[in-house]
Structure 1
């Protein structure tokens, strides 16, 4: 073990810490993205955490550190509101 760390090879402790660091970095990026999405939804009048609006929204990461946002189950009325907003934004963009 001492020789391997002297030669610049990864020690067992470092090998275990690297995936943990990747996970933590991925989790932070996912949490930041979830927070920004929460702010956008709030501006649209959609309340995250409300069972009738948008029950769950969480930042998550795989063990390799790949970030993703868990959206949970979204009620149909909220989905329609999002679809209408996206269609409006797309048509406004095309009108320019």
Structure 2
């Protein structure tokens, strides 16, 4: 390999930083889900959760497909949290 092709083969600093941020976010989300009793990696609960990044370094979290029961549990928790927040504001 020449220096040019090696440089192309190496991930950019932006990509690596974005991937790390996405991995950290996915880890935190995993911990929150675990507190709710939702297990990441379990086919019946939440099969896949991964931190990813675009080549430009934009981080994102791939959530995979989520079973309806898990999605409903999350929606109920979000609705409850929002209603509690609104009650505290009034």
TM-score normalised over the length of structure 2: 0.86
Match of 1:11 in 2: 3
* Structure 1 segments unaligned to the other structure (5+ residues): 1-8
* Larger-Rg structure: 1
Contact 1:52 1:75 in 2 (8 A): yes
Q: CA deviation at 1:94?
A: 1.1
Shift in Å at residue 16 of structure 1? 4.9
CA distance in 2: counterparts of 1:43 and 1:57, whole angstroms: 16
Instruction: Tell me the secondary structure at the aligned position of residue 51 of structure 2.
Output: strand
Q: Which runs of 4+ in 1 moved over 3 A?
A: 9-19
Count of aligned pairs between the two proteins: 88
Q: What SS does the corresponding residue of 1:69 show, helix, strand or coil?
A: strand
- Long gaps (5+) in structure 2: none
Of the structure 1 ranges 9-18 and 55-64, higher mean CA displacement relative to structure 2 is found in: 9-18
**What's the Cα RMSD here?**
3.2
* Deviation (angstroms), 1:70: 0.1
